[in-house]
């Protein structure tokens, strides 16, 4: 097995680039990334093969004097894996479903909006179309919905009353509770896998929470825009092809002067643009009808003066507002996608693998050869620097072999080495104190554990203390080591790794989890 220098990007030929991945990510990219990241976590591969590296490089963007960003590197990897997969990834299915949902939302909005206006404009002989009721049904309901949403948002911001409101999370929790008896009867391995899957869903919601909100808002606003557009089109179609009569009435003791002032206030946003922005006072007086006085013939000019006002009202209070919300949601979704840090659990390990050496299988015997010096590719959260190691007390691993391994594999200089009692949450005072003191200046805190050991609650409590002491700056790596065989360690078994990975998810530790790969 031959490994080339890690600094591959500086030697890439710009003429070899076929596809640019500098465009912002999409929701489909995020879905595929998480799907592939999960698959990668259970893979034993330590880098890219020669063929994969060539394909990967062909997808990287070219920027004069600039190294690829983390987003661009991961997107190039996604494109590489998409080409290598025999079947479509989940992102493609999402895209197809998303496009279908948008189309159905637009068509449903047009149909329902048009149907509502068609019903309201149904002419009933001598009785004209009631302008007041038309506005309530077309604009009033929409404004009430927006007002209710704004009120809930304001209450949440001020009182935090709905701070933990999560319908999907509640549904999942309810399902788990409802089937708890059945879960208890499942074998331990299946029960653990299901609990880990639910924990992963909760974790992804924490990471991509807003990305689940904006697509839903985009779909609803596409429906609302189409709904208002359908109302305007049907109103104009009826005006063009039928002789409509509009009037107004009220059981309240409302005078024409008061009605005119209300109408003029409603028309304020467009009154300066259009000469026929609203009916005049005389037209308001002439278009009033009352059942108590008996229906009487109304002025044709007065009746015809209302339809432009209704069109403008739907456009400004319906179509324009919904269109603005749609643009806002689309911009926010794009902004959130552009701002993805992609440094959560599993991403750092993948980043090291992608920016690491090329692997070429040349013979039946695999020999690992690490270059003497490894330069960092770009400045990212995965960075060279100093680290502190906490090694399980029962693990026969000395400081020097660990220091050499960390330097070669991660570019980390071992500053402090502690033999830790990982099942004693109240112990390890000196180690935790040093982690807390140096945490902001460290590149990483490494906890080394033998994979054959069963993870128990006491270990989770110890790891939580390490996480709390380290803070948010250093990378937290849980390094699993296989059984000792002479002077070397056996590979970590897939079952053992899966067990620790489920433990990591269920306990909400979110540590980077990797295998000791020096055999």
pLDDT in tens, 480-514: 999 888 778 888 888 888 889 888 888 888 898 88
In a domain, 250, yes or no: yes
- pLDDT category at 2 given cuts 50, 70, 90 is very low
CATH of the domain at 453: 3.40.50
On the 0-12 / 13-18 / 19+ scale of CB atoms within 10 A, 120 is buried
246: closest CA among 288, 211, 213? 288
Higher-scoring residue by pLDDT: 62, 342: 342
Give the residue-averaged pLDDT of 279-283. Answer: 86
Residues 57 and 202 in one domain: no
Residues 240 and 200 in one domain: yes
H or E element that contains 475: strand 475-481
Distances (CA, A) of 437 to 322, 425, 442: 52, 19, 10
Cα-flanking dihedrals φ and ψ of residue 489, to 5°? Answer: -115, 140
Residues 145 and 276 in one domain: yes
- Which of 23, 58, 87 is the last residue in one of the domains? 87
Residues 476 and 412 in one domain: yes
Residues 140 and 40 in one domain: no
Residues 176 and 63 in one domain: no
Higher-scoring residue by pLDDT: 146, 302: 146
Residues 287 and 151 in one domain: yes
Residues 439 and 325 in one domain: no
In a domain, 68, yes or no: yes
In a domain, 356, yes or no: no
In a domain, 369, yes or no: no
Residue linked to tokens 């996604």: 78
Q: Where are the alpha helices (DSSP H) in 163-276?
A: 167-178, 180-185, 188-241, 256-266, 268-271
Name the average pLDDT for the chain.
79
Q: What is the pLDDT of residue 509?
A: 85
Two tokens, residue 395 = 């693990």
Residues 186 and 329 in one domain: yes
Q: What is the pLDDT of residue 339?
A: 87
Residues 148 and 250 in one domain: yes
Higher-scoring residue by pLDDT: 179, 409: 409
In a domain, 449, yes or no: yes
In a domain, 360, yes or no: no
Per the structure, the complete domain to which residue 8 belongs is given by 1-87
Mean pLDDT: which of 64-73, 93-102, 487-496, 502-511 is highest?
Answer: 93-102
- pLDDT category at 82 given cuts 50, 70, 90 is confident
Q: What is the pLDDT of residue 191?
A: 59
Q: How many domains does the chain have?
A: 3
- pLDDT category at 284 given cuts 50, 70, 90 is confident
61 has pLDDT over 80: no
Residues 493 and 444 in one domain: yes
In a domain, 49, yes or no: yes
Distance from the Cα of residue 269 to its chain's centroid:
36
In a domain, 359, yes or no: no
Give the residue-averaged pLDDT of 231-258. Answer: 85
Q: What is the pLDDT of residue 4?
A: 39
Give the residue-averaged pLDDT of 325-354. Answer: 88
Cα-flanking dihedrals φ and ψ of residue 441, to 5°? Answer: -105, 0
- pLDDT category at 415 given cuts 50, 70, 90 is very high
- pLDDT category at 317 given cuts 50, 70, 90 is very high
Residues 105 and 83 in one domain: no
- Which of 338, 369, 399 is the last residue in one of the domains? 338
Share of the chain above pLDDT 90, in %: 30
- pLDDT category at 84 given cuts 50, 70, 90 is confident
Give the residue-averaged pLDDT of 52-69. Answer: 75
Q: In this structure, are strands 358-360 and 48-49 parallel, antiparallel, or unpaired?
A: parallel
CA–CA separation, 94 and 92 (whole Å):
5
CA–CA separation, 202 and 191 (whole Å):
17
- Which of 276, 309, 338 is the last residue in one of the domains? 338
Two tokens, residue 184 = 């208890």
135 has pLDDT over 90: yes
Q: Where are the alpha helices (DSSP H) in 85-138?
A: 90-120, 131-135
478 has pLDDT over 80: yes
Residue-wise pLDDT for 346-386, tens only, equals 888 888 888 765 444 333 434 434 344 333 333 344 668 89
Two tokens, residue 485 = 């065989």
Q: What is the pLDDT of residue 160?
A: 66
Residue linked to tokens 């920016």: 355
């Amino acid at each position: 097995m031959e490994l080339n220098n890690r600094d591959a990007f500086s030697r890439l030929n710009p003429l070899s680039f076929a596809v640019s991945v500098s465009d912002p990510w999409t929701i489909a990219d995020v879905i595929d990334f998480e799907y592939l990241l999960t698959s990668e976590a259970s893979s034993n591969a330590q880098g890219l093969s020669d063929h994969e590296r060539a394909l990967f490089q062909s997808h990287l963007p070219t920027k004069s004097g600039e190294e690829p960003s983390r987003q661009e590197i991961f997107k190039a990897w996604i494109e590489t894996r998409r080409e290598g997969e025999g079947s479509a990834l989940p992102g493609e299915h999402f895209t197809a479903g998303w496009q279908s949902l948008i189309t159905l939302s637009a068509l449903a909005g047009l149909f329902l909006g048009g149907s509502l206006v068609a019903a309201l404009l149904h002419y009933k002989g001598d009785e004209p179309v009631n302008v007041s009721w038309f506005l309530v049904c077309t604009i009033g309901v929409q404004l009430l919905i927006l007002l209710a949403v704004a009120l809930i948002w304001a209450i949440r911001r001020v009182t935090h009353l709905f701070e933990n409101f999560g319908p999907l999370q509640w549904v999942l929790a309810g399902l788990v509770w409802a089937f708890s008896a059945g879960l208890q009867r499942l074998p331990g391995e299946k029960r653990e896998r299901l609990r880990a899957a639910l924990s992963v869903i909760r974790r992804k919601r924490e990471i991509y929470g807003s990305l689940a909100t904006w697509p839903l808002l985009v779909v609803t606003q596409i429906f609302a825009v189409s709904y208002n557009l359908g109302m305007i089109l049907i109103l104009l179609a009826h005006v063009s092809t039928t002789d409509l009569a509009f009037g107004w009435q009220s059981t309240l003791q409302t005078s024409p002067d008061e009605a005119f002032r209300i109408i003029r206030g409603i028309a304020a946003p467009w009154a300066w643009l259009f000469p026929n922005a609203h009916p005049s006072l005389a037209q308001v007086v002439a278009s009033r009808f009352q059942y108590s006085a008996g229906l009487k013939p109304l002025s044709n000019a007065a009746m015809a003066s209302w339809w432009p006002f209704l069109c403008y009202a739907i456009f400004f209070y319906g179509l324009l507002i919904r269109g603005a919300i749609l643009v806002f949601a689309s911009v926010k979704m794009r902004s959130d996608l552009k701002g993805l840090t992609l440094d959560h659990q599993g991403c750092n390990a993948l980043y090291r693998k992608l920016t690491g050496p090329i692997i070429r299988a040349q013979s039946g015997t695999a020999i690992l050869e690490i270059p003497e010096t490894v330069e960092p590719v770009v400045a990212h959260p995965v960075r060279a620097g100093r680290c502190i190691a906490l090694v399980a007390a029962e693990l026969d691993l000395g400081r020097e072999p660990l220091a050499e391994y960390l330097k070669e594999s991660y570019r980390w200089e071992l500053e402090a080495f502690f033999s830790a009692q990982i099942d004693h949450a109240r112990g390890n005072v000196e180690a935790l104190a040093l982690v807390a003191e140096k945490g902001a200046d460290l590149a990483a805190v490494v906890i080394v554990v033998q994979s054959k050991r069963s993870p128990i609650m006491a270990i989770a409590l110890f790891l939580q203390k390490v996480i709390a002491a380290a803070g948010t700056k250093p990378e937290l790596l849980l390094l699993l080591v296989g059984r000792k065989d002479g002077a070397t360690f056996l590979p970590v078994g897939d079952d053992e790794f899966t067990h620790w990975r489920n433990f990591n998810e269920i306990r909400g530790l979110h540590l980077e989890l990797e295998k000791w790969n020096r055999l």
